[in-house]
Amino acid sequence: MTEPTALPWQPVYDELGINVPEFDDRPLGAFLEDHAAQRPEAAALQYFDREINYRELDEAVNRFANALVSLGVRKGDVVGIHLPNIPQYVIAVLACSKIGCAGSGVSPLMAPGEIAYQVKDAGISVLLTLDAMSSQLSGISDMPACLRHVITTSATDHLTPGEPAECLLEGPECHRYLSLVEQASAEYAQQPAAWNDTMMVQYTGGTTGRPKGAELSVRNLINNPVQYAAYAPWEPGREVVATAFPMFHAAGLAFAIASMRFGARFLLIPDPRDVEHFCRLMQRFPPTRLGAVPSLYQMLIACPAINDVDFSGLKIAHSGAAPLAGEDRKKIEAVIGTGKMSDLFGMTETGPVHVCNPPMRPKAASVGIPVPGAETRIVDVETGTEEMPVGEAGEIITSGIHVMKGYLNLPEESAKAMREWRGNTWMYTGDVGYMDEEGYIFLCDGAKDMLIVGGYKLFSVEVEDKLQALDCVASSAVIGTPDEKRPGNDIVNLYVELTPEARERDSAEVEAEIVAFCREHMAPYKVPKAIHIIDAIPLTAVGKIDKKSLRASA
């Protein structure tokens, strides 16, 4: 094995003409004000049939900023956003930016106790919530004292305004969104903001312990889109962004921020599982940029309406949250066109992207190379201080403008995740992979998901990716369970969701086919010892395979 060069991906940059871009630390609200002044009639948000242009959006943001200020919100406070992908979510993020307070996305899928934990941990003083989800708040048995105001809104407030359901809670004062904004002034100027002010407190899902609030600065969130835009530059006022990533997740937030920063038309998809609506909206507004997780791409290309979407103007299609198998990539490219797929890799704590597969020079099995302005390395899992040679797996770490400030009120956790090495601060991601001689990174699996079988390391994606070639497999997931006969080793468990055609066949015959395929295409220690055929592979809210759920049921 040869040692990596100082920046092994630099020759790729040179070949593609990629340079580290100039960064701009202005807050998001300042970009909104620019768009409202320079292209006021350009579409900003598309929500069903409702188009909101940049002038209207700036006025709506100003009204909501004034409403928040009237409730006592000041710079440094935290406003919770407990909504699906509707206009009010974008409006709230922008209003927080103008005020200089922080936003915090609160997942609509969380249980009352989980919401209470985040509200208390982040110190949320005002919570904007959907009237249809008020039962989640009323289910909180011990309302955090920091929560002073709850604002309820309806999914139709920017369509056909009506009266939202009344919110009755003990403790915080309840308000109606429309009543507040109708009484507020449409004038509000962006307040001064420093590059290291906290713009969002985004909570990481994690697989163990309580969620942690990642403090993401203005610099992190405003400039990270510039980093991965280097592979497909934006044209302000001429872009249409289509994604169903929920904005309470880092990926959805990133697409929303990028859209507002660059003056795009942002298509709002409240229900990512309604692929018919997603396709119909793209038929009317052909996307120039597309973003989804592999599972949603599979759902989209299986929808007949996708065939009537014009993808001729599509510049780039990002895939994230999970590795995109080679077979799936070919199926997607058959619909959207070749040379457009681009894997994004990162995490909430890295703004979120620090690795991107350049569509003009991708390596299909890789997630790509570090984005401009980011440095990413592979170090040993045990100590995190020894750089691994080319081709050898280790923990992926990254340093640069995209790395968070730290975990809110968790100095020990922050120090564990963000360490000094070679004179810089690095985020230790917990993900495992290796780098080739050109700087392309290949994922193995999270360190926590690595299996030990007969003394060999096994990364689940190795098995899952190969199984995509089987016609009977719709989706699969590999987890390890302790091998009691061989302490320190794992038993390879394969969970399989069959295709509709395979479900009609004899299950024993299908299992035999899977085993035969594995024995033919994998080393003996990688062959699953237990195969579980289930109705559906469980997914998290953002479309990742929910291995935590599978382990709990194993």
Is residue 3 predicted with pLDDT exceeding 70?
Answer: no
If 0-12 CB within 10 Å is exposed, 13-18 middle and 19+ buried, where does residue 341 land?
A: buried
The per-residue pLDDT for 206 is: 47
As beta bridge partners, residue 236 has none
pLDDT at 445: 60
Instruction: Give me the percent of the chain exceeding a pLDDT of 90.
Output: 75
Calculated CA dihedral for residues 388, 389, 391, 395, nearest 10 degrees: 10
> Which residues make Cβ contacts (< 8 Å) with residue 509, sequence separation at least 6?
none
d(CA 190, CA 205) in angstroms, rounded, equals 32
- Would you call 90 helix, strand, or coil by DSSP? helix
pTM score, two decimals? 0.85
State yes or no: pLDDT of 467 exceeds 50: yes
Sign of the CA dihedral running 449, 343, 43, 270: negative
Spatial distance between the Cα atoms of 550 and 554, rounded to a whole number of angstroms: 6
Q: Note the pLDDT tens digit of each residue in 372-394.
A: 999 999 999 889 999 999 999 99
Helices 275-284, 294-301: inter-axial angle, 10-degree rounding:
70
pLDDT tier at 468, thresholds 50, 70, 90? confident
Q: Residue 1 has what pLDDT?
A: 43
Q: Which residue has the higher pLDDT, 167 or 343?
A: 343
Q: What are phi and psi of 51, to 5 degrees?
A: -105, 130
Q: Where are the alpha helices (DSSP H) in 250-359?
A: 250-262, 275-284, 294-301, 326-336
Q: Give the N- to C-terminal CA distance of the chain in Å, as an integer.
A: 39
Give the whole-angstrom CA distance, residue 554 versus residue 8: 42
Produce one character per residue of 222-236: b if its CB has 16 or more CB atoms within 10 Å, e if not. bbbbbbbbbbbebee
Read off φ and ψ for residue 259, nearest 5 degrees. -60, -45
* pLDDT digits 0-9 by tens, 93-112: 999 999 999 999 999 888 88
What is the average per-residue pLDDT within 238-262?
96
Largest CA distance in the chain: 71
Q: Which helix (H) or strand (E) segment is 342 a member of?
A: strand 341-346
Residue predicted with more confidence, 291 or 460: 291
Predicted local confidence at residue 95, as pLDDT? 98
